[in-house]
Structure 1
């Protein structure tokens, strides 16, 4: 059984979802890029999701977003379903598209964590030894200079019904700055991300050289068969963190961990009461599934530590 997770409006996350058995189903090409950008634009608008960063790798997807309305699970269900259905058509694929593991959802609790995870998302193709620099990756992505801007995509011909009004001819994907970044501080924020990205790229290139591997290159990455599987080593059952606070944040990790433990303890206590028939029990702030499926009472006053502030 998975651990309960607090879902609250205004939280910023790093999201990661992987393709089934590391198949290269999202190998970068024009059709997949169009599908990803269009479905993300439509889904984000529908659920009030602010998108900050994106990188679609051949085997997985990274997003950094802010959930303004506190409806992240609904967004993920809708968005991932559209990606899967469109991919099935484009790749003539039978069966599941996504891996059975749940989406990795990492709550970013400080500005440092947001900067680091946006840069991490951008640098992913470099860390994988696919290209030398992030801007060389041919897949759907957001670059530093695009932060705070917008991307657009026309409706894919595959899967989407042109007569259905919920699928516009063209959809714009706004690339919002994180909520804590004022418009007059946008350039400073981009520079912080650029500096962090350069650090990630340098470390990644050093590691690729240390292992004695060559860089695959954008052309060869685009020519790979989507039915092949990644063969690089990947640890099984690796850590799946719940939150991130970034480097140089003394005490922030301990406070965040304490808040997570407190939420889980309160949730389990309330659930135990619910199971024995106490329908007046109040679940802690951030309870999602029980509220949506069973209309339980939820504390609407955030307790200290429920959501760590951006510091």
Structure 2
């Protein structure tokens, strides 16, 4: 049974989705970069999602966002569909684009978690042995200096999207917002913290590459590989699918987060048992999304309308 997931308005997440069988369909060339940024800009605007950081690797996407309105599943469905369809046209690809595993959605509960995971996203091309420094990656990404203040502007791609459809404006903008745990007056400190963590992770990647006697592929070669090839580097397979992160050495926050997850799941299952027994007045815990959206189930603190 899939564990129930709390969808809370205002929550910040690290989202990861992988390409089918590690094909290099998102190879960082100008066409795919333009399409992915445009699709993200349009999708986040449509659902009121705030973007904090992202990095498009050749085989997967990382995005750090805040779900202001508690509609994350809707956003993911829309964005992933548009990104996949555009990729299929650009790559002349038949069949699915996305891996069959579920999208990884990790809620970031503390400032430490936000700093560490944003640095992780930015450092991904370095950790993968593609470039020596994050700023050298030629694909769609955010640089440290843009965090919380950059605005990306991208023209509508010439493929797949109907220029006569008002859903697809001629130009889309993607503002980069500060995460809600970061106050405006501490923005510079936040960027310095991410830069320091990024440097730590880059140094760690450099040391690991040296230990294994490996070099870095380089931006030019990464942009020229065939998108139909597959990544061959070792990737550990894990059965873990974390739902939250609190950062290193955050023992109290970790204990509180675990207790909150257990409480939500326990309350959800109790309500679901009552629902299955035919008791339609069963009240699900706040943060229940699927049962409320598709079955009209009551949610604690939420008034049903219409």
CA distance in 1, matches of 2:208, 2:268: 42
Alignment of 1:23-34 (within 5 A): 23-34=23-34
Name the counterpart of 2:223: 222
Query: What corresponds to 2:88 in structure 1?
Result: 88
Q: What is residue 180 of structure 1 aligned with on the other side?
A: 181
| Pairwise CA distance, 1:250 | 2.4
* Distance (Å, rounded) in 2 between the aligned partners of 1:249 and 1:275: 39
- After TM superposition, give the deviation of residue 43 of structure 1 in Å: 0.4
Q: Tell me the SS of whatever aligns to 1:82.
A: helix
**Paired residue secondary structure (1:191):** helix
Tell me by how many angstroms 1:211 deviates.
1.4
Worse-superposed segment, 94-103 or 232-241: 232-241
Show CA shifts across 1:189-234 (max 9, x none).
1111111110011001111111111111111111110000000111
Matched, 1:208 2:212: no
User: TM-score under structure 2 normalisation?
Assistant: 0.97
Q: Could you say which residue in structure 2 is the equivalent of 1:144?
A: 144
CA distance in 2, matches of 1:234, 1:187: 35
Specify the SS of the correspondent of 2:251.
Answer: coil
What does residue 284 of structure 1 align with?
A: 285
Distance, in Å, in 2 between the alignment partners of 1:300 and 1:36 is: 37
Q: Is the 8 A contact 2:110 2:181 kept in 1?
A: no
Give the secondary-structure state (helix, strand or coil) at the position aligned to 1:251: helix
RMSD of aligned Cα (Å): 0.9
Between the aligned partners of 1:272 and 1:135, the Cα distance in structure 2 is 51
Uncovered stretches (5+) of structure 2, i.e. residues with no partner = none
Distance 2:77 2:298 in 1: 24
1:237 CA drift (Å): 3.3
Partner SS state of residue 50, structure 1: strand
> Hey, what does 2:172 align to over in structure 1?
171
The alignment partner of 2:173 has SS state of strand
Contact 2:286 2:300 in 1 (8 A): yes
Q: Note if contact 2:113-2:245 (Cα within 8 Å) is conserved in structure 1.
A: yes
Which residue does 2:44 correspond to in 1? 44
Q: How many residue pairs align between the two structures?
A: 301
* 1:260-271 superposed matches below 5 A: 260-271=261-272
Query: Which runs of 5 or more residues in structure 1 are unaligned?
Result: 302-311
Q: Which runs of 4+ in 1 moved over 6 A?
A: none
Alpha carbons 2:112, 2:247 under 8 Å: kept:
yes
Q: CA deviation at 1:248?
A: 2.6
Kept in 1: contact 2:6–2:264 (CA 8 A): yes
Shift of 1:238: 4.1
Scaled by the length of structure 1, the TM-score of the pair is 0.95
CA distance 1:238–1:211, shift in 2 (3 Å): farther
